[in-house]
A and B are shown apart, each in its own frame.
Chain A
Amino acid sequence: MKKLKPLSILVHVGSLLPLAKLIFDFLTNNFSPNPIQDLEQQTGFAAITLLILSLAITPLRTLFNWRAPAKYRRVLGLYAFLYATLHVTVYFAIDYAFDFSLLFEATLEKRYTLIGTISYLLLIPLAITSYKWGMKKIGKNWKKLHKTVYLIAPMLILHFAWARKGDIFSLQGDVLQPLIYGVLVILFLVVRIPVIRRKLISLRK
């Protein structure tokens, strides 16, 4: 058996913690008076947090030459997908109970749910092709495909911000959390721009 590394334990335990909390809250009846919204918000928050963490790994290598986390990028991405799947399932199956007369308007005519739905659909091929057989199957297109996450992450920030009461572009209202996440996503993407990346690596050396 492989020896368990502390970083590995941290990643898996940390990623499963939100799920454990949901199960605990369910068993102990510890939800707020609006439990369906709790489920939606907590799974959504876990999904976006883990996705952003998966984007932090390349910058960690660029900035600090820290390579150890690299192998957890896939794991973090897949955990993000797990929570996103729970999130979407709760929304369609429990919140709206597949009531398509309501869902059509609530989901397709509103930018915040529309962008969230599209983001989830875009995540599906990434999750499916994240293991070796998927990588082999699409060969050199794999990298291209997985770069769509650079588009998905900002879309999810908008989804997050637009679900709040406030206006993220005028910095008014309940926008602090999405704002912080948005800044992180921008930083993590900017560090990937080749010119900036090379500059940062040369500064480090």
Chain B
Amino acid sequence: MDTKSIPLHPSEVTPKDQYLSRRDFLKQAGIVTAGAALLAACGTSADETPVTPVPQNLSADQETSSLFKELTAEESILSYNNYYEFSTDKERVAKLSKDFQSSPWTIEVGGLVNNPQNFSIEEILGNFSIEERIYRMRCVEAWSMVIPWNGFPLAELLKAVDPTPDAKFVRFETLADPDQMPGLSNGLYPWPYQEGLRLDEALNDLTILSTGLYGETLASQNGAPIRLVVPWKYGFKSIKSIVKIELTAEQPSTFWEDIAPKEYGFYANVNPEIDHPRWSQASERRIGELQRRDTLPFNGYAEEVAHLYEGMDPATLY
């Protein structure tokens, strides 16, 4: 089967209410028949449909259901992208990445692990059960979205490679293929894009590797075929199109920290109290809304992650 990422045509974009009713239906119908129902709802035949990870266990806690009503339109998520490997113009990314080859794809997982492995994207989709996570996404540029991701906890992948006791950090790297990514010719950036997490952050249940959103295979502009999602940190931490994951003893350097260390730190936790040196982080514009919203500490996930930073100077956590 051809698993190359298939660009979504605007007419294929899921309207929010349709997605919501489809999701309610999925919940009632159960998981087994969900795949078929999804195809029927899309009105596409099976052979045209990309490998779609169907959400396996739909979480239904309070938090998720309230965020549910705030979901950002899929069309916005697909057309407003920061992905500098293609373009610094958010609206050009989708067009420039439409022929991006996200298959075949291999992720090399190594470094300080007992069981280094190369995973093909098919192995990833086969080995890990994909679930739905609805998260806020807060960009450092002070806009935000609410995105229904499909993915699985990064912790599960890390378990599979068995980090050694020396492993303290996880380093991630994006593909850097100048033939496919015109933005790489811009020498003002320290390519390839790289990111990092402390091991306990990486193992937190909120941290996922995503392979889709809105029940569809991840589009190129959203980081196909697999990306990180760390919802309590600014969006730039959620690295796209990952080709390499490495366990390290030392804190890895990260793309934006290399560019401006005083402005984009390693931790980059969403914090309305700590401004970017050049602009306020106290409020944000939710895409699709006219009025600004107050930005929440840890992007609203303080309960789940604040304990990770106990005893640390908050001023160092930007």
Contacts A34-B285, A36-B285, A37-B143; A172 near B280 (Cβ below 8 A):
no
Residue B278 interfacial (CB < 8 Å): yes
Contacts A34-B287, A37-B285; A172 near B80 (Cβ below 8 A):
no
User: Does A105 lie within 8 Å of B188, measured CB to CB?
Assistant: no
Within 8 A of A (CB), among B261-287: 263-264, 275, 278-280, 282-283, 285, 287
Taking residues whose C-beta sits less than 8 angstroms from the other chain, chain A's interface range is: 20 to 34
Q: Which listed residue (A34, A110, A165) contacts B280, Cβ 8 A? A: A110
Taking residues whose C-beta sits less than 8 angstroms from the other chain, chain B's interface range is: 35 or more
User: Does A110 lie within 8 Å of B186, measured CB to CB?
Assistant: no
Residue A32 interfacial (CB < 8 Å): yes
State in angstroms the CA–CA spacing of A112 and B278 once bound together: 6
User: Does A32 lie within 8 Å of B285, measured CB to CB?
Assistant: no
Q: State the Cβ distance, A172 to closest chain B Cβ, in Å.
A: 4
User: Does B80 lie within 8 Å of A175, measured CB to CB?
Assistant: no
Residue A72 interfacial (CB < 8 Å): no
Question: Inside 8 A of A174's CB, which chain B residues have their CB?
Answer: 84, 88, 188
Question: Inside 8 A of B263's CB, which chain A residues have their CB?
Answer: 167
Q: State the Cβ distance, B260 to closest chain A Cβ, in Å.
A: 5
Within 8 A of A (CB), among B70-112: 72-73, 75-76, 79-80, 84, 88, 90-91
State in angstroms the CA–CA spacing of A31 and B263 once bound together: 29
Q: Mark A86-104, 1 if CB is under 8 A from B, else 0.
A: 0000000011110100100
Contacts A32-B79, A32-B91, A106-B279; A173 near B188 (Cβ below 8 A):
yes
User: Does B259 lie within 8 Å of A167, measured CB to CB?
Assistant: yes
User: Does B278 lie within 8 Å of A173, measured CB to CB?
Assistant: no
Q: Is the interface of B mostly helix, strand, loop or mixed?
A: loop
Residue A14 interfacial (CB < 8 Å): no
Residue A166 interfacial (CB < 8 Å): yes
Specify the chain B residue showing the minimal Cβ separation from A171.
B188
Residue B2 interfacial (CB < 8 Å): no
Question: Inside 8 A of B287's CB, which chain A residues have their CB?
Answer: 33-34
Specify the chain A residue showing the minimal Cβ separation from B258.
A172
Residue B19 interfacial (CB < 8 Å): no
User: Does A105 lie within 8 Å of B282, measured CB to CB?
Assistant: yes
Residue B291 interfacial (CB < 8 Å): yes
**Cross-chain pairs A/B with CB under 8 angstroms, 8 sampled:** A94-B290, A97-B292, A105-B275, A105-B280, A106-B282, A165-B141, A165-B259, A166-B188
A-B residue pairs, 10 tightest by C-beta: A33-B76, A33-B80, A106-B280, A172-B259, A173-B259, A167-B260, A33-B287, A112-B278, A162-B278, A32-B91
Binding site for A on B (CB under 8 A): 72-73, 75-76, 79-80, 84, 88, 90-91, 140-141, 143, 186, 188-190, 256, 258-260, 263-264, 275, 278-280, 282-283, 285, 287-288, 290-292
Binding site for B on A (CB under 8 A): 32-34, 36-37, 94-97, 99, 102, 105-106, 109-113, 162-163, 165-167, 170-176
